[in-house]
Amino acid sequence: MTLQQELDARRAEFTAKATPERVAAYQRGVDELAADGIAERAVQVGETAPDFTLHNARGGAVRLSALLAQGPVVLSFYRGGWCPYCNLQLRAYQRVLPEIRALGAQLVAVSPEAPDHTLSTQQKNELDFEVLSDTDGTVGRAWRLVYGLSDELRGLYAANQMDLARINADGRWELPLPATYVIGSDGVVRLAFVDVEYRRRLEPDQILGALRALQPREAR
């Protein structure tokens, strides 16, 4: 089963259980982001990756440029451990982590959640890669991914026990678009997947294909 098939199954399960009004409200949120054009404004292929230093759940500092000095980086922005689609994505990437590392790359995930929540996400999904907290949204904004939730979505999330103002480290009702990048060791973005539809994510095979393309010719 592909990652998208897993995501579609989760979506079908939600649609079968949720009220039509709730389903329509979430879709309106997606449509509004599409109309806004935020995905097109995000960091794209060919751009130099904005550098950052963020902390992991254990308090250690991780700098993107330091990772790139060792090889390519797969960087994935996700909404939070409360998001079932994010958890499916993170687990799918964990399954190909040995292949990512065999291609000389490192995998890093970033969310706006507070460190205690990122630790929970890492443990729950048994992740062996770095999971970092963008505690004030600075990194998400540098990558041009952050947006504010509408009043309608705030009400729906809060009613479903997802108070993002409490879950997120900075207390804001903001999220990054789900986005995954493959960055060459030269700091240039080689693959960019940015989508306002949070129920679509980059397939692991596409990540591996992009990393293979970065391999020296004699190593292929």
3-state secondary structure the chain: CCHHHHHHHHHHHHHHHCCHHHHHHHHHHHHHHHHHCHHHHCCCCCCECCCCEEEECCCCEEEHHHHHCCCCEEEEECCCCCCHHHHHHHHHHHHCHHHHHHCCCEEEEEECECHHHHHHHHHHCCCCCEEEECCCCHHHHHCCCEEECCHHHHHHHHHCCCCHHHHECCCCCEEECCEEEEECCCCEEEEEEECCCCCCCCCHHHHHHHHHHCCCHHHC
Q: Please report the pLDDT score of residue 217 as a whole number.
A: 57
Does residue 43 register a pLDDT over 90? yes
The whole model's pTM is what? 0.94
Does residue 169 register a pLDDT over 60? yes
Q: What percentage of the chain carries pLDDT values higher than 70?
A: 98
Per-residue tokens: 205: 């095979």
Residue 166 confidence class, pLDDT cut points 50, 70, 90 = confident
- Full set of structural domains in the chain with CATH: 3-219 (3.40.30.10)
How does pLDDT run across 119-165, given as a tens digit for each residue? 677 887 788 899 999 989 999 999 999 999 999 999 888 888 788 87
How does pLDDT run across 100-115, given as a tens digit for each residue? 999 999 999 999 988 7
Residue 196 confidence class, pLDDT cut points 50, 70, 90 = very high
Residue 218 confidence class, pLDDT cut points 50, 70, 90 = very low
